[in-house]
Structure 1
Amino acid sequence: MNKIKTAIIGAAGYTGGELLRILVNHPSCDLVCVHSNSQKGKKVTDVHPDLIGDCNLVFTDEVPTTGLDAVFLGLPHGETKGFLEANPFSEETVLIDLSTDFRDESNGFVYGLPEVNSEKIKSAKKIANPGCFATGIQLALAPAISKGWVNSPVQISGITGSTGAGKKLSETSHFSYRTGNMSVYKLFTHQHLKEIKQTFRQLNEEFDSELLFVPYRGNFSRGIWVTAYFPFEGTEEEAVNAYKEFYKDAAFTHVSDRDIDLKQAVNTNKCILHVQKEAGQLVIYSAIDNLLKGASGQAVQNFNLAFGLDEKTGLNLKSIAF
């Protein structure tokens, strides 16, 4: 098979950098264009110095609209639509968008959560990559939603590392703010709730429960930890078996019989779940890396599915435990 000619649009940020780190070593990818308006003319290694010896490309603000097999779109939220209007790619080019612009599955995009939509993704030319919190929450609750177990408000809390705020500096991403600190933001109103509810209604047309989500800023750089719980009349064994059955064919989502921790998931494309029943509640813990399974790793997983590759190609990433 010829290598897949690929471009990354918006490659200077955190998710763009993660895409570069994965794709320069992906055996089926030929990375031919690395785009950035702000860094045009600079070597990739001037912006991502850890890639010295791995990438000799230079950032450009010019993008070929022909001759590309795949394009990853890592632009800020709200900018992808305008970019695609100005740069009409071939209908045969696979587009994978990491912004919020098409997660409502408008303009022919398929929502790219492989554990739910793998068959659609395999034949898609336009894929909307899920959000990071959305991924952790959906994978925590999808089996329960599909079983019809959720009939009351779901209590959800989630804490994310500072890279979830993006590379552009803001007051709440300063080291002096984050270190030794925690804070809540977007209480019950987080933008990812819309796409989460969309998936849950696809899994179960009768789903209409509130998702009471409390997002926290964490004092670490990467990773997401989600805790979700709701009243449950069944047994813990029944729930664990249902979760394992739901994810039996999932390449990266695993149900652990033991307590889990965040470091198990950091630097991987995994979602690691733990399910238990306590005080009449079914409690699910979900751990992912926000930049990998929550963004760039999942985007490459979707790339693999769209091109008929093994889902794990280029994504065996874990190298450290501590």
Structure 2
Amino acid sequence: MIQAGIIGGAGYTAGELIRLLLIHSKTEINFVYSTSSSGKKLSAIHQDLVGSTDQLFTDTINTDVDVLFLCLGHGNSKLFLEKNSFSKDTKIIDLSNDFRLTQDAIFQNKHFVYGLPELNKSAIQSAQYIANPGCFATAIQLAILPLAAKGLVEDAIHVNAVTGATGAGTALSATTHFTWRVDNFSHYKAFNHQHLGEIHQSVDSLQDDLKSVIHFIPNRGNFSRGIFATLYTKYEGTLETAKALFKTYYKDAEFTTVSDDPLHLKQVVNTNKCLLHLEVHEGKLLITSVIDNLLKGASGQAVHNMNLMFGFEAHLGLQLKANYF
């Protein structure tokens, strides 16, 4: 059994991470650190855990845990690591965007590997420090990588994607309040979302001399969780060729599947899956990508990365079924 610590335990991603680690057969939660909730039961904040654990939040850190998850707001992981040191053997998985880009990947002599298993599996297996990808970034990259790997990104990529309210975190704001969000729909950060940097970085790394142009419109949906993304770009081949290309690229992927049928969000919510669907329309390839933003887009992917780092079976703690009905 490995010992896991969680920093920043009161948010949505931490709640999902706790839920996954509690059912993981080779992991024990050593501590969940939260200055705002210290001394309270985990289930007082994460109410889906009532009856599952009596563990308490703590303001004490064990620096010798086997794996440490940083579930902190963007910019705060660097601040935390500047103030706290851990054993040289402790593996760290950061769920913020602090270390995802190449220019930020080396920090305090720690080299953070970008933790998208479908792209960097072998590097993750030998890594000590992981920068977990963003949720939109995960859904969009998985829709593009097979094309870039074969040098087939020939024109701009147009992306329209909608995410659930949990993507904004637990802090209330004008656009997360129920009376604003219900029966409503809006876009935000058009063409300049913070996940574009890591998307460009991964796509450009696969296709020589590519400086990809990705036009991304993110949207707020009036539902709790999930990301539904549609992308299209210039494509001269047949649908059969595109399907073969994508299925070959993902033949060894544990959680990414190409579906022959159209997709909807209920197929992936509460799972670590990414489902992809392809269509060809008059010289354009349309790709649909759907994930759960809190699992495949955050905590589930973090557990998958942990499994790879420790040599565990990929699906441990992630044997989840979609809430279809």
Instruction: Quickly name the TM-score band, shorter chain normalised.
Output: over 0.9
Higher mean C-alpha deviation, range 311-320 or range 249-258: 311-320
**Structure 1 CA distance, aligned partners of 2:208 and 2:298?**
27
Structure 1 stretches of at least 4 aligned residues deviating more than 6 Å after TM superposition: none
* Corresponding residue SS for 1:138: helix
Name the counterpart of 2:271. Answer: 268
Name the counterpart of 2:215. Answer: 212
**Structure 1 CA distance, aligned partners of 2:210 and 2:176?**
36
**1:89 paired to 2:92:** no
Alignment partner of 2:99 out of 95, 99, 102: 102
**Structure 1 CA distance, aligned partners of 2:48 and 2:261?**
35
**Structure 1 CA distance, aligned partners of 2:264 and 2:62?**
43
**1:309 paired to 2:307:** no
Name the counterpart of 2:49. Answer: 51
Amino acid at match of 1:220: F
**Structure 1 CA distance, aligned partners of 2:79 and 2:181?**
34
Name the count of aligned residue pairs: 319
Contact 2:93–2:129 (CA<8 Å) still a contact in 1?
A: yes
* Corresponding residue SS for 1:140: helix
**Structure 2 CA distance, aligned partners of 1:49 and 1:261?**
27
Q: CA deviation at 1:146?
A: 1.1
Compute the TM-score of the two structures, normalised by the length of structure 2.
0.97
* Corresponding residue SS for 1:31: strand
1:59-79 Cα shifts (integer Å, max 9, x gaps):
11221212x100010011000
Q: CA deviation at 1:304?
A: 0.4
Name the counterpart of 1:221. Answer: 224
Amino acid at match of 1:191: Q
* Corresponding residue SS for 1:237: helix
Name the counterpart of 2:132. Answer: 129
Let me know the Cα RMSD of the aligned residues. 0.9
**Structure 2 CA distance, aligned partners of 1:297 and 1:77?**
19
Provide structure 2 residue ranges, at least 5 long, that are not aligned to the other structure: none
Q: CA deviation at 1:319?
A: 5.3
Name the counterpart of 1:115. Answer: 118
Amino acid at match of 2:134: G
Amino acid at match of 2:225: R
Q: CA deviation at 1:209?
A: 2.4
**1:294 paired to 2:297:** yes
* Corresponding residue SS for 2:297: coil
Contact 2:268–2:322 (CA<8 Å) still a contact in 1?
A: no
**1:193 paired to 2:196:** yes
**Structure 1 CA distance, aligned partners of 2:34 and 2:73?**
12
Amino acid at match of 2:100: R
Amino acid at match of 1:125: Q
Compute the TM-score of the two structures, normalised by the length of structure 1.
0.97
Name the counterpart of 1:237. Answer: 240
1:174-226 Cα shifts (integer Å, max 9, x gaps):
11111111101000000000001111122123221210000000000000011
Contact 1:151–1:208 (CA<8 Å) still a contact in 2?
A: no
Name the counterpart of 2:11. Answer: 13
Provide structure 1 residue ranges, at least 5 long, that are not aligned to the other structure: none
* Corresponding residue SS for 2:233: strand
Alignment partner of 2:171 out of 168, 171, 174: 168
Contact 1:44–1:59 (CA<8 Å) still a contact in 2?
A: yes
**Structure 2 CA distance, aligned partners of 1:38 and 1:148?**
49
